[in-house]
Each structure stands twice: as C-alpha cells, then as structure tokens.
Structure 1
Amino acid sequence: MLHDLVAAGFAWLLAYLLRFNFELPANFIAEIWHTLIWVVVLQGIVFWRFGLYRGVWRYASVNDLRRILWAVIVAAGAIPLLFWMLRMTVVVPRSVLVIYPILLLLMMGGGRLIYRLWKEQALFADIKLHGEPVLILGAGDAAVNLAKELARNPLWRVVGFLDDDEGKIGNMLNGVRVLGKQEELVHWANKLSVNQAIIAMPESTHSQRKRAIELCNQAEIKALTVPSFDDLLSGKVTLSQLRAVELEDLLGRDSVQLDNAGLQEQLTGKVVLVTGAGGSIGSELCRQIGRFTPGKLVLYDANEFALYNIQQELDGTFPQLEIAYLAGDVRDDVRLEQVFREYRPNVVFHAAAYKHVPLMERHNAWQAVRNNVFGTWRVASCAQRHGVEKFVLISTDKAVNPTNVMGTTKRMAEIVCQGLQKPDGTRFVIVRFGNVLGSNGSVIPKFREQIAKGGPLTVTHPEITRFFMSIPEAAQLVMQAGYMGKGGEIFVLDMGEPVKIVDLAKDMIRLSGFNEGDIKIEFTGLRPGEKLYEEVLADSEHTLPTPHPKLRIAQARQVAAGELQAMLDWVNSDAANDDVVVRERLRHWVPEYTPTLNGR
C-alpha cells in the first residue's frame, strides 16, 4: 500500500511536470502541494475499497490489473468531485486529470510486474545460461504454460518448441521460438546439444503421442511427458509434474466417450454390488462407479488383503460415499442370500473369477469350474431372486474358441447368464475383453520385476501376440456396455491392434534405460493352455455393431434349457473331479473347446 500511495503522489507531480514541459509556473507549485495530500488520501481509500491488497504480488495477474484499472478510473473521476465538495479554489489543468491516471496505472501495474518477474527469476530469462537444455514437443497452451513453469526452475532451460502446425513455426512463445516440425527433432537435438525432450500434448490422440515418443527414440534422447489431460482437469497433478514415458504411453489408447447421462441414470443413487472388488478390474470398476455417486457401493471379495487395500483407497477418495466392504465367497449361497437381502442391490458387476490360464490348467481345473461357473450361477440366481435390475458378467477373449480350462469355464459362465435371461426381470449382460495393462498376473508387472533383477526377460514364444487395453478403459467400457445392454447380449470390446510380447519386452527394456545387450530376452516355450494368437473379438463377420464405436455384440451359440440344466447339475456336484474328467466334460458342454497342454 505504501508503494501505491507513493506512486499516487509521484504520478500527480509528474502529470504537472509533463503538462508544463518540466517548467512549472510558481503559482502551480503551491497548488500541487495544496492538492497532493487530498489526492493521496482519496487514492488510498479507493484502493482499499477495491481490494487491491488481498492478493500477493508474486502471483499478480490480469485480474489484479483489472482491479487496478477500475480503482484508478473511479479515483480519477472522484478527484475533481472532491475538490468541488471541499470548495477548494484550485485550477487543475484538464490535461493533468487525463495524464495522471495513465501514469498511475503504469506505475502500479509496472511495479507488480517487475516484482513478479524478479521473484520468478524471469527478468533475465532470455539470457538464462544454466540448466539442462530441453526441447518441448507441442506448442499449444499446455506447452506454453509448461515453458513458463520451467523458466522458474534453474535445472531446466527450454531452447525451443517443435510443432507440426506450420502457422506456428518461427513464432515466439513466452520468449522461446517454435523452431520447426516434430519430425526435425533429430536435427535440432544435435544442433542444440539436447539430451531430453518433453512431450507436452495432453489433449492429443494416442497415436500422436506415440509418434512423438518414437521420434525421441530415433533421436536417441530421453523422453519425458506431462500428465494426462484428465488428470490435469481433475486437479490430481500440475503441469510441471513431469514423468518418464512409460509402457502405457505406447500401448494406451484414446479416451473412452461415455454416455454420462445414461450412466448417471443407472448408477446415481442406486445400490451397486461388485464381486471380486479387490481385483484389478473389480477395484477399477469401484473407482469409476464412485464418480457417479451411487446410493451405496457394496464390495464383495474372498481375498481379505485385497479388500483391505481397496478400502484404504476408496475411503480417502470418496469420504462422503456409503461403502460396505464384505468378505465372502461367490459359491457361498448362504452368505450371498444374506448380502442380497440386507443391501438390495440394483446393479451387480460380477468380476470374481479365477483368471490365470496355466495355473488353472493343471491340478486346479475343477476349482476353475466351481468358481467360474458354479460361482457365477450362484450370484446370478441370487440376483434374479432378489429383483436386481441388471447383472453384468465380466468375461474374457479366451472364451472365444477356447483352448484352455479358464477360457472354457468363462464361456460356460456366459451360457449360464444367457440361460437365466427371461423376458422380464433381471437383465443379464456379458462383456468380453482381453488383457489389461498392469493387471494382477499380467506380463507387465512380471517384466518389471525381471528388469529390476537384471534380467533375463522370459517370453514364451517369439511370435506370440496379445491384445491390450488400460484398466480404466476396460472398466469404463464395461460400465457403458452394462448400460446399453437390454438382456442376453454378449458385448465385445474393440481391443485395437495385437501387440507382439517380444516387442513389448524390448520397449520395457529401453524405457528402463537399458538395451538388449544389458538385459537379455529368453524364449521358454508356450505354457499349458496358451494360444499363440488370441482370436479377434470385434470382427464384422461374427459381431453386430452398436451405437458405441468401441462396442460390438457377439453372435454366440445358444444352449437349450435342458442342456443348461444338465450342465448346472454337473457343476453343482460334490465330486472332486480330476483334470482329465473335467476336460472331457468341458468338451461336451463347449464343443468349440480344443484342449491342449502343449500350447499348440
């Protein structure tokens, strides 16, 4: 405030000096001193009333300048009015009343600007000589804001932007030039001795970000990236929280467009039950469902530790949401009856299952049947008896022409849900998808552990491929399919292009800062029940389109009611069937099943 009062007095004096070309008449000198005290007092009152001293100069912005402008304008109009009210016999030149507010605005705004530049070490940013030179890929708002934040960091020195928009090339953004297109990265990295580049394109498509990462690899420089646009909007992170490029940046896909209005209708205020809630997909479903504010979220899982972990997370993320954490087995009919009777769920997402292919193939085949088929039947039947509106079964791509016990039992679970579908009552919806990045038991966490130990990375076959999607994308599409389903459909997700596991291993080695000379890749042979190639899920020949571009409906074989009942009688038996008997019976119930123990 002292700065502004001094500025007000000095601007009043300088306005007179400029008016008379610095040759003040004697009579005006006395007039200046006579009016100065009243001008300064009036300005101080106006400044205070306009709230100019609630902000912090270091963070002065356009909003602060706007308040200063209005305060100066109001005071400029009030000064002659004050003189008239006080009946002061002074003659203030009209030009002084015009020059004075302009000078005062420049002094007050300029003082704040210079202070902010000084505190942000930006007064001499253009001649910054220290810090790691870095190129920024992208020249949009995110890139410019990032450059501003890095300018305050002595560890970084932004030497240029690269952007494919030809209209931006040659422009200066925050004092840094747009040097050229992104494809010129190799040239500029060599010319400017740059070892790192930052990909600042959070709103771009996955293919654009992937191309930028590949350009960094070609230039043999380290690639960093900014957080995703969704994370920036949610306030979880700030733009300056850079991170190394991860595998998900290469394999991830564009964000899913959800029917939020429809999902709110289905989930908001409703009781939602998720089985297998501690697993990878189940826990992500809980996170996504929580955003729609259900009336109550019920988590059901047999794994106590997994249930505890998700409890610690959700209680912190959704403190206002009513959540029940229930331990229980999907095969326990007594426990299920208690849960459905007490909580009366409107929607059920059934994610509980045994999913590990080789583990279920030997010594555990009957347990896979009991958990995946019998457990699904118990939960689905209980849902039907208690009037659940919609039941969503999480299935797998391995249910398509299965070669292993796990995939076959999931196909049988699909048959159970389709068989329970009636013209009215509970609507059963089935969703198939492939591997998810970073899920429990997937190859990616395994590769990370092997890299941490110095290798080698073990791959079963040089030609083996898999489809991948992120866990959030899979959960969002499951919810979308659940909303769209009318009952009895099998939705399949568009999994994109298949990925060679050996290429994935090479990417992980490189992203970890090593090369194949440092960490070897070993081929161990296909595991029991493992396919070399997964079936294409969303092909146009065997599926029908839906209004959502990433969802299609499979045309699956229907099972007669008598055959379904016979199958249920078998899975409900108490006999501890060995693997050979189980495979024979699975071939009977699922003719497309071709069992193999050698993976071929």
Structure 2
Amino acid sequence: MNALRKTLFRVSQSLTRQHKQLAIWLLDVSLAPASFLLACMFTYNSPWPSEQLSRLGIVFAMLAVFGGFASVALGLMRIKLKSYQTFGTAGLFPYAALVGAGAFFFTTLPGLHFPVVGTLAFTMILFLASIGARVLLLQIYLAALRYNKVPVRVLIYGAGTTGLRLASALKAHETIRVVAFLDDDPHLHSQRMAGLRILSPDRIEDIVRNHEISRVILAIPSVSAPRQMRIGRQLQSLGLEVQVVPSFEQLAGTGTMADVLQSVPAGHFLNRDRLDVSLPDGSETYQGRSVMVSGAGGSVGSELCRQLVACAPRRLVLFEISEIALYTIERELRAMPCTRLTEMVPVLGSVTDARSVRQAILEHEVEVVLHAAAYKHVPLVEGNPISGLTNNVFGTRTLADACVEAGVKRFLLVSTDKAVRPTNVMGASKRMAELVIQDMAHRHTGTQFSIVRFGNVLGSSGSVIPLFREQIARGGPVTLTHEDVTRYFMTLSEAARLVLLAGSFSDASSIDRANVFVLDMGRPVRIRDLAQQLIEAAGYTLRDRNNPGGDIEIKVIGLRPGEKLHEELLIGDGLLKTPHPRILRASEEDTGGCEIAVVLQHLGRIAATGDAEAARRLALDVALGVPDVLPLAAIAVRSS
C-alpha cells in the first residue's frame, strides 16, 4: 500500500495543470457512453442487451463526442476537485441535463429509438457518476498528497451552521483530520452531523487522550468574544492549540472588541462635566519664555508638552530619562504645525543627576520648570522603596536646588492625592517631595514654588481604564481590589490644563509658601461602577449571581499592600479661592526647613546602606507627621 501511495504521490507531483484538466475532460468523455450502457441495462432489464446495444452503437460514439463538447462549454475541467465536496455539484447538473437532452435528440433519429424513461435514467446515472468519479479521484489525489505527512487531528467546537461548513471544507485538507464536534447543547450529544459524532465538552480530557487531538477550532461566532476566550483558555490549559473561526463582522473589520472599547472616551466615566474646555490655559505665563518639562515622555508630561506648544514658548526643553519616550514625544511635537515658533530641545537625563539637571537649566536659560518626572506605580514603588524615594524625593530636591541656583522664575511640582495621609511608599515619597518644595519656598523667595495635586488621571499609563480594557479584551475577569474602593478622576487634558493654569497664578502674600492647588473634581467614582460601565460600553454583560450567563465577571482580589479604600485631596480643612472657581488652594501647615533637611540626610544614609524597610518606615512616619520622627532623625544624623 505504501508503495502504491508513493507512486501516486510522484505521479501527482509530476502532473501540470493542463494534464489534470485533460484527465478531467477524458473522464467526462468516457462517462457519457458508460452511463448510457447502464441505462440500457436498466431499461431493457438485462445485464447485456446485445441486440439493442448493436442497434444503438452509434449513439455511444455521439454521446462521447457530445459529452466532451459539453464539458468544454461548461468549463468543468477548470473546477477544482476539492470543490465537489461542498458546492461544486452545481456545475454537473447542467452538464448531465445537456448531455441527457442530446441523448433524447439522438434517440429520436430513425432506427435509434430509445424509451423516454431510459433517457431520464441515463441523465440521472450520468449526474451521479460524474459526482462519484470526481469524489473518488479527489480521495485518490488526497491520499497521494498525504504521503509521509503527519495528520493533525482536530475537534470542531460548535455543531451549528458554521461548524458544518468548516467540517465540509476541511474534508479536502491535505493534513487536517476532523475527528468530532463538541457542543454545549445536551440534545445534540451522541448524534451525528456530516458523518461525525457530536460530543459533550465535559468529556474533552478523555476525547483528547483517546483520539490524540492536538487542535480545537472554535466555530461559534454567535457566542460573545469573552466567552470564546474563556473556552479557549480552558482548552489551552490542556495543551491544545486553539483557533477561532471569525464572525462576519470581524472579517469585515467592524467587530473587534478593542475598537469598541477605544471608541468610548475616557471622560465618559467622570460622572461630572469635563472642565478642560472651561479652564483658561494661562498661556501668558509661558509665551515667549524658555520652559522645561521633566518627565516629558510620560503620560502627564507629554500632555503638558502638547498643550504648552499652543502657548508659544520661546523654547521647550524636554527632559526625560527614557530614550524611546523622549524620541516619541519629540517626534510627535515636531509634527505639530504650532511648534514652528518654538525651539524644541530634547535632553536625555535623570532628575537625580545634579550635573545633567544644572547644565540643562543653565544652557537653555530655563525660566519655568514643570516637574512631572516621578515613579508613580504604587505596587512597583512598594516593592522598590529605595529607588522610588531616590527618584521622587531626592530627584525633586536636586531639580529644585538647580532652579534656585539658576534663578528660575517658577517651579511647579506635579503631585498626587496619594500624598495625603499616605499608606504606601509612593504616596509617602510624593508627600516628602511636597515638603521639600515647601521648604525651598520658605528659604528662597526668588523662585515661586507651587504644587498641584491630582486625582487619578484617566488613560495614563498604569491607570485602571487601560488595565480594565485589556482584561475585557482578553475575556475577563476584570480584577477589583475591593468592592467599595473609590477614586477621584480627571482626564489627561484636565490634568495638564490644571498644571499650566496653576503655574500662572501668583500670590504676593504667600511668596514664602508653596501653594498647593487642587481641582474640584466632584464626588469620587466607585471603581466597581467604573468596571461595570466599561464592560457595558464594550457591548457585553456583567456575569454575577443575578446573571450567571453574562459575558465578563468582576473578581475581587483584595487590597494591594499600601492601597487605600478612599483617597483624599487635602491634608488640612482650609480651602482658599483662586482666580478660577473650580481650582482651589489648600492652606496646609508644613515642617520647618531645618527638620526636613535632617530627615533627608538620615534618609540618604539609610538608602546608601540599602535598608529598604528602614527607608519605608522613615518615609511613612515623616509623611504622616509622626511626632517623634524628626528628633529621632536628628539624633541618628548626629551619631553617624
């Protein structure tokens, strides 16, 4: 058998397209007289009606010639054999009918009489013989092509119309063997479709083991994408390759989940009116000046740069530690038409590098600094406290010192609501950065220092909306740290506008104090409600106890280390008005300059030893205002 298959394989590989078409044509030429012979046997009820055959001998020849012409006219030799397993039979019916009409005409000639019922039988036999001969040729051809090829044994998940069509199409595949269907409908189990059994997915492990299955194809386009993804992950956990037959919408390019999600603007979830359109931009503060943005490639920093170029500064210094982030924002800004009047200066450096910072400020005559560079991801900073404190605290101190030395007019620190009574290292580091700026404002009145406190910025890297969108795109679950957790939210545009506007405010009565500006962001947003809105905005339903058949569930995983249930924007109770009614100025007490200097010395020594736990405790104690921490830090400094 193997020798025969090897021979067939070699013959099939040597045949050209013309040779294959000629073979099909010769098949049609021979099938017409052969079918007429069978019709004669049926009509005359004899295995060999010799008398009638000798009388009708000329009809055999005429049918062979006419069958050849009909095959050419209908282009049957150009139809691939593989198509006859699905929809190719339509071309054979006209062929059989045309040759049958020819037979009827020939048998009306003198001496060639043949019963009409025999002509009908001939037409039917010719049609069936044409189909059968082609299917047989196809099986022989496929057997030749499969020589020395390892078959891929496949299950089709979904015994509907899509699954049936897929199974029919795969029958002619060279290497794929469809073993059975899987379907969730118990009424279909143990039935057959297209010659294949329909089995329950509950038996998948036994089926895979007994039939050596290596791949499952999901043919359930009517099922929601999240559910398909859950099924796919369960199958992949068994070591199976999973493929998906797309729906018509996906094939047309209109059904991707990511597009649905991205079409919903982040501001839709604020539960309040957006403020960026009503906030002035404070452009007069930046117009014609040299402005530096630290962290220019980050989420907030890059949006600051985009809005700054509209203020027409003389020079915009992009200070960024990430090469790819700096390259990306510089390229984007240079493509904007409004940057023609602004000199764009990309500077690759870290805010903890005093030489690099000082050189950038002096060389480019910086007049305004917007400090947005920071490590902000709570779990990452919690796991790397010394790196977070070094960057967020000492980086701020280094940059502020350089600004004072160079005579920079304005310095604005971008802070966070996590700095208010922090429970994590990131929040503590930002609170200490605020204390550093407040200390600098006390001691140096030549530079006007300000602080802007944000809530969570929608759409920024690491924020919940990109995370939830990614989880929804994977089919869920959407992970929530606590059912009742809430956060204040603002858009990137609002955040950047708040920074620019706060940087333009001046208060002669508080020149020795760093003003803390906050945006009136309304009521905090419940994160569970936000997750549910995102699920529904994507066109899916929430899966919970009340709706077990829903698409995507919300899974509570517990608060992360250092995470708070509710964030705050103010340390004290006092709020003062600003020139804009939706921007408020906080009246907060700060520590003395001598005390914060002592704390920084102590923290620096702890960081040098690599004692992460001691650094964490000190930062949190200082940020929370623990009474004895400053005297203890002073004692530690004097004794070291």
TM-score tier after normalising by the smaller chain length: 0.5 to 0.7
8 Å contact kept, 1:247–1:507 = no
| 1:317-361 C-alpha deviation (Å, 9 max, x unpaired) | 144131111110000011112111210101000000011111111
Specify which of 329, 334, 346 is matched with residue 315 of structure 1: 334
> Secondary structure of 1:403's match?
coil
8 Å contact kept, 1:494–1:537 = no
Matches of 1:245 and 1:466, distance apart in 2: 20
> Secondary structure of 1:590's match?
helix
Q: Quick check: 1:330 aligned with 2:351?
A: yes
Matches of 1:380 and 1:558, distance apart in 2: 17
Cα distance, 1:502–1:337 mapped onto 2, change above 3 Å: same
Which letter maps to 1:457?
A: V
Q: Quick check: 1:400 aligned with 2:420?
A: yes
Which letter maps to 1:332?
A: D
Specify which of 519, 533, 553 is matched with residue 493 of structure 1: 519
Matches of 1:501 and 1:387, distance apart in 2: 44
> Secondary structure of 2:407's match?
coil
Partner of 1:554: 586
> Secondary structure of 1:395's match?
strand
Matches of 1:538 and 1:402, distance apart in 2: 10
Matches of 1:361 and 1:530, distance apart in 2: 10
Matches of 1:536 and 1:394, distance apart in 2: 13
Matches of 1:295 and 1:353, distance apart in 2: 26
The structure with the larger Rg is: 2
> Secondary structure of 2:452's match?
strand
Matches of 1:548 and 1:293, distance apart in 2: 22
Specify which of 243, 247, 268 is matched with residue 249 of structure 1: 268
How far apart are residue 579 of structure 1 and its match? 2.7
Which letter maps to 1:403?
A: T
How far apart are residue 247 of structure 1 and its match? 4.2
> Secondary structure of 1:575's match?
helix
Matches of 2:524 and 2:611, distance apart in 1: 35
TM (normalized to structure 2)? 0.52
Specify which of 452, 456, 463 is matched with residue 442 of structure 1: 463
8 Å contact kept, 2:289–2:313 = yes
8 Å contact kept, 1:365–1:578 = no
Matches of 2:506 and 2:386, distance apart in 1: 31
8 Å contact kept, 2:423–2:620 = no
Specify which of 366, 370, 382 is matched with residue 361 of structure 1: 382
> Secondary structure of 2:411's match?
strand
Specify which of 563, 568, 579 is matched with residue 530 of structure 1: 563
> Secondary structure of 1:520's match?
strand
8 Å contact kept, 2:284–2:311 = no
Matches of 1:259 and 1:520, distance apart in 2: 42
How far apart are residue 536 of structure 1 and its match? 4.5
Cα distance, 1:434–1:485 mapped onto 2, change above 3 Å: farther
How far apart are residue 259 of structure 1 and its match? 4.2
> Secondary structure of 2:518's match?
strand
8 Å contact kept, 1:392–1:428 = yes
Partner of 1:374: 394
How far apart are residue 582 of structure 1 and its match? 1.1
Q: Quick check: 1:471 aligned with 2:497?
A: no
TM (normalized to structure 1)? 0.56
Cα distance, 1:575–1:536 mapped onto 2, change above 3 Å: closer
Matches of 1:593 and 1:466, distance apart in 2: 26
Q: Within 5 Å, which residues of 2 pair with 1:296-311?
A: 296-311=315-330
Give unpaired runs (5+ residues) of structure 2: 1-261, 543-549, 628-640
Matches of 2:486 and 2:289, distance apart in 1: 40
| 1:505-535 C-alpha deviation (Å, 9 max, x unpaired) | 1111111111111111111000011000112
Specify which of 511, 524, 527 is matched with residue 537 of structure 2: 511
How far apart are residue 285 of structure 1 and its match? 0.5
How far apart are residue 423 of structure 1 and its match? 6.0
Cα distance, 1:527–1:316 mapped onto 2, change above 3 Å: same
Partner of 1:291: 310
State the 4+ residue runs in structure 1 displaced beyond 3 angstroms. 243-247, 255-260, 536-539, 571-574, 591-594
8 Å contact kept, 2:296–2:302 = yes
Which letter maps to 1:368?
A: G
Q: Within 5 Å, which residues of 2 pair with 1:81-160?
A: none
Which letter maps to 1:560?
A: G
Which letter maps to 2:525?
A: V
Cα distance, 1:370–1:514 mapped onto 2, change above 3 Å: same
Cα distance, 1:548–1:386 mapped onto 2, change above 3 Å: same
Matches of 1:427 and 1:319, distance apart in 2: 27
Cα distance, 1:293–1:277 mapped onto 2, change above 3 Å: same
RMSD value, Cα = 2.0
Partner of 1:278: 297
| 1:216-235 C-alpha deviation (Å, 9 max, x unpaired) | xxxxxxxxxxxxxxxxxxxx
Matches of 1:335 and 1:550, distance apart in 2: 37
How far apart are residue 245 of structure 1 and its match? 4.1
8 Å contact kept, 1:298–1:323 = yes
8 Å contact kept, 1:401–1:593 = no
Partner of 1:590: 623
8 Å contact kept, 1:447–1:457 = yes
Which letter maps to 1:563?
A: E
- Larger mean CA deviation between 337-346 and 543-552 belongs to 543-552
How far apart are residue 266 of structure 1 and its match? 1.2
Partner of 1:409: 429
Q: Within 5 Å, which residues of 2 pair with 1:557-568?
A: 557-568=589-600
> Secondary structure of 2:319's match?
strand
Matches of 1:301 and 1:244, distance apart in 2: 30
Give unpaired runs (5+ residues) of structure 1: 1-242, 595-600
Q: Percent identity?
A: 46
> Secondary structure of 2:335's match?
helix
Specify which of 369, 374, 379 is matched with residue 348 of structure 1: 369
Matches of 2:575 and 2:626, distance apart in 1: 20
Cα distance, 1:331–1:284 mapped onto 2, change above 3 Å: same
Cα distance, 1:545–1:569 mapped onto 2, change above 3 Å: same
Q: Quick check: 1:420 aligned with 2:453?
A: no
8 Å contact kept, 2:408–2:447 = yes
Whose helix proportion is higher, 1 or 2?
Answer: 2
Cα distance, 1:558–1:423 mapped onto 2, change above 3 Å: same
| 1:8-34 C-alpha deviation (Å, 9 max, x unpaired) | xxxxxxxxxxxxxxxxxxxxxxxxxxx
How far apart are residue 264 of structure 1 and its match? 3.1
Matches of 2:369 and 2:304, distance apart in 1: 11
Cα distance, 1:593–1:435 mapped onto 2, change above 3 Å: farther
Specify which of 241, 263, 266 is matched with residue 285 of structure 2: 266
Matches of 2:279 and 2:558, distance apart in 1: 40
Matches of 1:389 and 1:294, distance apart in 2: 14
